[in-house]
Amino acid sequence: MTTPLELPVLFLHDQVAPPGMTLPIALDDEARAAVDAARAAGSEQLLLAPRIDDTYPTVGAIATIEQVGRMPNGGPAAVLRATDRARIGRGVAGPGAALWVEAEVIEPSEPTERTHELATDYKRLVVATLKQRNAWQVIDHVESTTDPHALADLAGWAPYLTPQQRNQLLAEPDVDRRLETLITWTGDHLAEQEVSDKIATDVREGMEKNQREFLLRQQLDAIRKELGENEPEGADDYRSRVEAADLPDTVREAALREVGKLERSSEQSPEGGWIRTWLDTVLELPWNEKTSDRTDITAAREVLDADHYGLDDVKDRIVEYLAVRARRAERGLEVIGGRGSGAVLALVGPPGVGKTSLGESVARALDRKFVRVALGGVRDEAEIRGHRRTYVGALPGRIVRAIKEAGSMNPVVLLDEIDKVGSDFRGDPAAALLEVLDPAQNHTFRDHYLELDLDLSDVVFIATANTLETVPSALLDRMELVALDGYTDNEKVAIAETHLLPRQLERAALTTEDVTIDESALREMAGDYTREAGMRQMERLIGKILRKVATNLATGTAEPPVQVTEDDLVGYLGRPRFTPESVERTAVPGVATGLAVTGMGGDVLFIEAARPAARADSSEDMAGEPHLILTGQLGDVMKESAQIALSYLRAHGSEHGIDTSALTGPIHLHVPAGATPKDGPSAGVTMVTAFASLATGHPVRSEVGMTGEVTLNGRVLPIGGVKQKLLAAQRAGLTTVFIPKRNEPDLDDVPDEVRDALDIRPVSDVADIIAAVLEDAATHSTHDAA
């Protein structure tokens, strides 16, 4: 027999806490006294005694104080967890103002085979009850409970049990009798609930159906009366419309089959609504409608040149397309529904270079309809291919809707932001675009909603993207890539004068008689106020200047004409935001200037290396193995480049007059800005140069930038984005740039003014870079003295 425990009592009014229940208790005077007494005794335990109908309880639950704190409303509270049943004995003396009693723990009996059978039956009833309430998380908890005692005590949470019933269960020590009682009560509740739900469902469905049908029929009759239509549109009307429409033979046959289904279906059948919607969609598509292409090639090129400055690659491709189509038409070689007669272009470049607006210019040059399909954030495959007709609210995909919106079968369709397409459990929209953008397959494109072959071979698809990293390679293989790498300062000034300034003058309700902006001011804005590949920020600054001029003219502080010069920019725009920083950043050894490409275009990258002081407790390898610390949110490829660069110098540094002992111990490599993730192998030569500068103590020449992947033997491997990197080098004020020897053919795409402004040196060995870019000690001392 167990020794009785002496515990403070906390009475629960109209509430029962069986073992296993955790409950919060508001601390009124009585509850606070019991909790304080339990904590003062050091046991952190008290007895929860239910007071039901004001009767004195004989059985309670021993509870442990889990936490003391406050309720959301600020009132004091405690969280208690009931652990064991206990018989309540005589009162005893105890500390504090609480009532103390003796409590004898009721040990749970060993479950028998019958106990497990009863537990299984009760669990089945509880799960059925919870399914009616859609309490799936609670079902998982019940299913995972295997102890019959714990399962029976879960009834303390049952909302359909009264406090008296819960108290009866608490007072019953035998688990078999508790389970038998619970099976009876739960079965009665389940049967009563099923009857109530069935009655309520039948009544609600009957009333809603009758009321809805009556209301809709009354409204339909009133609408027809107002329109003067005595007979509703039925299958006969659709049959006549299909027969009168200009449809291909296969489409007409499919449409007439659906009309036959409509004739055989009743008006109340939901299938009739699906068929009508499908027939309306088919009849609205321009199956045999096409616009005539512009045959004047010179005029088409003039349209492209008038809308956009530069971008010769894409303009040449469109003119070539027009020239081939004109010759085929001249020789009678055009075939309706032929393969590969359309064009699929992918314009890739940083934001603001004119990719989206170029699609409208192409449509104007071809004299075709234009429609834009925004793909940014699309994650559902059905957005491209359409939904099956069996789904409620099914619609055709965006491609079919674009053709319907254009009103012709040969529009220019701009697939905007194709690199922002996502994928999830609903499918991969990029994979659905494979058939759309394949010139050898899209003459039989099949939308899930239409289930008819749609000829897209004469559509000019133009896709735009900021980066190719997120575009699947299979999709890229189906498109002709045209890179728009950004504009030089001269091009920016020309675009600002011919396009941006006239547009902003119109928006500000100004004319050239009111205000002019000098070319020198535009050049200063392009060089020191914006450092971007595109033109969006440049246009914003022009708009800002014109708004200030309009304000000055309205307030009388200025008289027309206002001439904005380079010296006036500080007053209109503030101080320049971008100034050359290469001299300052590379003034100390261990810093080298690299070149990178981001989604926003080319940029310079300062790579910093330093030797932190070794700790006294450091367990550094006695063989001199360095501990390389990498920071700056570097990707795996860039981290490997750092390891390769350090290994190369430790193996071959002595060949270049570098003391490799300076590269032992901990070395820290950091690539600002630390908040921007970075990855790729093209910073390899820059890391080698930074480590070499650190080891020799000679800083890197401030006017030098470099890019290239490096191997363990010092070979410089080719990289991508040469044009964008050289444009960034020019913007940053660099004068000498080292690039891989195998990237020398890429210089043909670089504008002449950039090649003239930069001393571009192709190299195949990183040793050539080290020998050329490190300042000697004398020069460095002179710089320090200066």
Rounded to the nearest 10°, the torsion over CA 610, 613, 619, 621 is 50
φ and ψ at residue 54, rounded to 5 degrees: 60, 20
**Residue numbering of the annotated binding site for ATP:** 349-356
8 Å CB contact between 504 and 553: no
Q: 197 in a domain, yes or no?
A: no
Q: Tell me the pLDDT band of 231, cut-offs 50, 70 and 90.
A: very low
Q: Is the pLDDT of residue 49 over 70?
A: yes
Region 483-504 average pLDDT: 85
pLDDT digits (tens, 9 = 90+) for 526-548: 878 887 778 888 899 999 999 99
φ and ψ at residue 662, rounded to 5 degrees: -70, -10
- DSSP assigned state of 558: S
pLDDT digits (tens, 9 = 90+) for 294-319: 878 888 888 888 888 877 877 888 88
Region 769-781 average pLDDT: 68
**Residue 509 shares a structural domain with residue 548:** yes
* Higher per-residue confidence, 221 vs 634: 634
Q: Which helix (H) or strand (E) holds 519?
A: helix 519-524
Q: Is the pLDDT of residue 337 over 50?
A: no
Q: 202 in a domain, yes or no?
A: no
pLDDT digits (tens, 9 = 90+) for 465-482: 988 888 888 888 888 888
Distance of alpha carbon 278 from the chain centroid: 34
8 Å CB contact between 312 and 451: no
Q: Tell me the pLDDT band of 717, cut-offs 50, 70 and 90.
A: very high
Tokens for 638, please give them.
């860039």
pLDDT at position 779 is 44
Region 761-785 average pLDDT: 71
φ and ψ at residue 534, rounded to 5 degrees: -95, -155
Q: Is the pLDDT of residue 149 over 60?
A: yes
Question: Which residues have CB under 8 Å from 598's CB, separation 6+?
Answer: 350
Distance CA 559, CA 351 (A): 37
Distance CA 433, CA 479 (A): 11
**Residue 277 shares a structural domain with residue 310:** no
Q: 37 in a domain, yes or no?
A: yes
pLDDT digits (tens, 9 = 90+) for 749-760: 888 888 888 999
8 Å CB contact between 347 and 315: no
Other C-beta atoms within 10 Å of 237: how many? 12
8 Å CB contact between 480 and 314: no
Range with top average pLDDT, 348-352, 550-554, 586-590? 550-554
pLDDT at position 551 is 92
Q: Does the active-site annotation cover 702? A: no
pLDDT digits (tens, 9 = 90+) for 84-106: 889 888 888 877 788 888 888 88
Q: 177 in a domain, yes or no?
A: no
CATH code of the domain containing 398? 3.40.50.300
8 Å CB contact between 85 and 109: no
Distance CA 320, CA 339 (A): 18
**Residue 449 shares a structural domain with residue 511:** no
**Residue 651 shares a structural domain with residue 751:** yes
Q: 111 in a domain, yes or no?
A: no
Region 508-520 average pLDDT: 90
Lowest mean pLDDT among 112-116, 224-228, 499-503, 562-566: 224-228
Q: Is the pLDDT of residue 746 over 70?
A: yes
Q: Is the pLDDT of residue 346 over 60?
A: yes
Q: 469 in a domain, yes or no?
A: yes
Other C-beta atoms within 10 Å of 589: how many? 20
**Residue 470 shares a structural domain with residue 519:** no
pLDDT at position 369 is 92
Tokens for 95, please give them.
């500390």
pLDDT at position 505 is 92
CATH code of the domain containing 649? 3.30.230.10
Q: Are strands 591-598 and 5-13 parallel, antiparallel or unpaired?
A: unpaired
Q: 166 in a domain, yes or no?
A: no
Q: Are strands 601-610 and 667-670 parallel, antiparallel or unpaired?
A: antiparallel
pLDDT at position 540 is 92
Q: Which of 45, 76, 105 is the last residue of a domain?
A: 105
Lowest mean pLDDT among 211-225, 288-302, 506-520, 768-782: 768-782
pLDDT at position 679 is 82
Beta bridge partners of 592: 607
**Residue 327 shares a structural domain with residue 464:** yes
- Give the predicted TM-score (pTM) of the model: 0.61
φ and ψ at residue 227, rounded to 5 degrees: -80, -10
Q: How many domains does the chain have?
A: 5
- DSSP assigned state of 704: E
224: alpha, beta or left? (left if phi > 0; alpha if psi -120 to 50): alpha
Distance CA 669, CA 647 (A): 14
Q: Which of 437, 462, 483 is the last residue of a domain?
A: 483
8 Å CB contact between 506 and 553: no
Region 51-65 average pLDDT: 85
Q: Is the pLDDT of residue 618 over 60?
A: no
Tokens for 682, please give them.
């093209």
- Supply the range of the domain harboring residue 247: 235-284
CATH code of the domain containing 569? 1.10.8.60
Q: Tell me the pLDDT band of 624, cut-offs 50, 70 and 90.
A: very low
**Residue 758 shares a structural domain with residue 740:** yes
Tokens for 14, please give them.
């109209």
pLDDT at position 434 is 86
Q: Is the pLDDT of residue 512 over 80?
A: yes
**Residue 605 shares a structural domain with residue 461:** no
- Tell me the CA distances in angstroms from 15 to 105, 165, 214, 511, one per residue in order: 20, 11, 51, 82
**Annotated active-site residue in 682, 693, 702, 723:** 682
Beta bridge partners of 591: 608
pLDDT at position 786 is 35
**Residue 418 shares a structural domain with residue 495:** no
- Tell me the CA distances in angstroms from 599 to 485, 671, 678, one per residue in order: 11, 18, 11
Question: Which residues have CB under 8 Å from 94's CB, separation 6+?
Answer: 6, 8, 37, 41, 100
**Residue 276 shares a structural domain with residue 398:** no
Question: Which residues have CB under 8 Å from 581's CB, separation 6+?
Answer: none
Q: Which of 441, 465, 483 is the last residue of a domain?
A: 483
Region 165-178 average pLDDT: 85
* Higher per-residue confidence, 351 vs 206: 351
**Residue 604 shares a structural domain with residue 687:** yes
pLDDT digits (tens, 9 = 90+) for 417-453: 898 887 777 778 888 888 888 888 888 888 888 888 8
pLDDT at position 37 is 86
- DSSP assigned state of 720: S
Q: 210 in a domain, yes or no?
A: no
Q: Does the active-site annotation cover 361? A: no
Tokens for 596, please give them.
């990178």
pLDDT over 90 for what percent of the chain? 15
**Residue 564 shares a structural domain with residue 703:** no
Q: Which helix (H) or strand (E) holds 461?
A: strand 460-465
φ and ψ at residue 762, rounded to 5 degrees: -75, 135
